[in-house]
Amino acid sequence: MNFQNLELSLGKLQTRKKNATKIAPFVALAILFTLIPIYYPSMHPNKLSPVLSSSLVPLPDNVSQKKEYLTSREEQQEKTIISSKEKDEKSLQTNLTKSDSYHSVAPQGINDGTKNCDLFSGEWVANTEGPYYTNMTCFQIQEHQNCMKYGRPDTGFLMWKWKPDDCELPIFDPRQFLELVRDKSLAFVGDSVARNHMQSLICLLSRVVYPVDVSNTTDLENKRWEYRDYNFNMSMFWAPYLVRAEKTEPNNIYQPFNLYLDELDESWTTKIQSFDYVIISAGHWFSRPTMFYLNHSLIGCLFCSQANVSQLTSYFSYQRAFQTAFRAINSLENYKGVTFMRTFAPSHFEDGVWDKGGDCVRTVPFKRNEKVLDEYNLDFYKIQLQELEVAQKEGENRGLKFRLFDATQAMLLRADGHPSKYGHWQNPNVTVRKDCVHWCLPGPIDVWNDFLLQLLKREVTDR
């Protein structure tokens, strides 16, 4: 499949839009009578969650309940896994019903059946409608994520969508999103994966309108975009550690950083007060060599060579960083927005780590019972849930909302969605490290904006 054909597919979607309203009642009836016998016998109680162990249970949407599941892994071993055959049959039947939800611009506050559903527990199913943009239609794809430009030979990784266990997740509707965020503002706080998320959103919205770049800088680390027809803006604030950090060598990011784990990173904490929505995330940078400071004193390090400095773990810095970041948000006098904590997306290096020949060569997603979080990533995930719960309780006193944006489960299964070697032109005489951290655009990271739209709709409905 080439991208000329993909462009034609996008054009066909526009034609289908004109006919959708005429046939919608008949399609709805057909789908209803098809899905009733398919789903009801196979739903509950034995659904899966791929995050915890070899025998798995679904994570509840409530953060405190998720923590209880994470701390009782022995009990989870007793749960039953749905057989691969049953899941394959369910996926096949799901794929028989296609959705053109992109074409419907629903009023704000619409309840489309996802409000009481755990969006984040599910599995990837085939989707012949994808992708919804290409590297020829979106200008915001960075080179190292432009897998099609640099010769990735397969396109099957573009033909999947996320299917929650108890509902259908509508494909991202750009017009509905823009109406929902009219007169609003959205901030991304984090590292290059957070930027990857923002760029995916820009690409999905480009089907309707392009934003205006009003950034005060030419770098990609801190950007601001305006959608002037909707009085909507979004910004990227570079904060890979969330707290104040300094390079030990000004021009070398591969040398240890000094992390001041109890000090705010004012590059973003002083600028988000006016935002309606903030998505905060962090993860991969915490495995780098770092020096840890508390109360202005060096108290330990990660991967350092100083004999007189205590060796601490990345869990120590990760937990302290989220504590400080959430404390900063809760201390802002004028901030009235909703904070979404996006859980981290695991990397997928196989046959070696990132700097020792590791690569990611899969071309299809894992099934939910084929892949689980290792202990290292599971502990990171648990720390995020713990600190989010603390922030939620503290925020209640000021009427601030902290919400879970759980991307871990869905992305754990998508080892096929990374650029690998297709983020640059191939040169047989040059060895370049593979990228199994960021995500191809278009690619599986686009589902984060399917999630985001539903989460924003829930906020409007609750109000």
Residues marked as catalytic: 192, 435, 438
Helix (H, G, I), strand (E, B), or coil: what is residue 406?
Answer: coil
Beta partners for residue 297, in sequence order: 294
Q: Angle at the Cα of 354 (from 380 to 418), degrees rounded to 5?
A: 80
> Which pair of structure tokens corresponds to residue 272?
């988000």
The phi and psi torsions of 225 (rounded to 5 degrees) equal -125, 145
Whole-number Å distance between alpha carbons of 139 and 239: 24
The phi and psi torsions of 29 (rounded to 5 degrees) equal -65, -40
Query: For residues 316, 318, 320 and 321, what is the CA-based torsion angle, rounded to 10 degrees?
Result: 150
**Exposure string (b/e) for 144-154, b if CB count within 10 Å is 16 or more?**
bbbbbbbebee
> Which pair of structure tokens corresponds to residue 128?
């012949």
Whole-number Å distance between alpha carbons of 373 and 283: 14
Residue 44 φ/ψ region, left for φ over 0, alpha for ψ in the -120 to 50 degree band, beta for the rest:
left
Nearest to 320 by CA among 296, 298, 294, 339: 294
> Which pair of structure tokens corresponds to residue 451?
């999630």
- Quick check: 436 and 408 in contact, CB under 8 A? no
Q: CA–CA distance from 216 to each of 81, 183, 185, 267, 293 (Å)? A: 52, 21, 17, 14, 31
Q: Angle at the Cα of 385 (from 288 to 454), degrees rounded to 5?
A: 105
Whole-number Å distance between alpha carbons of 330 and 324: 10
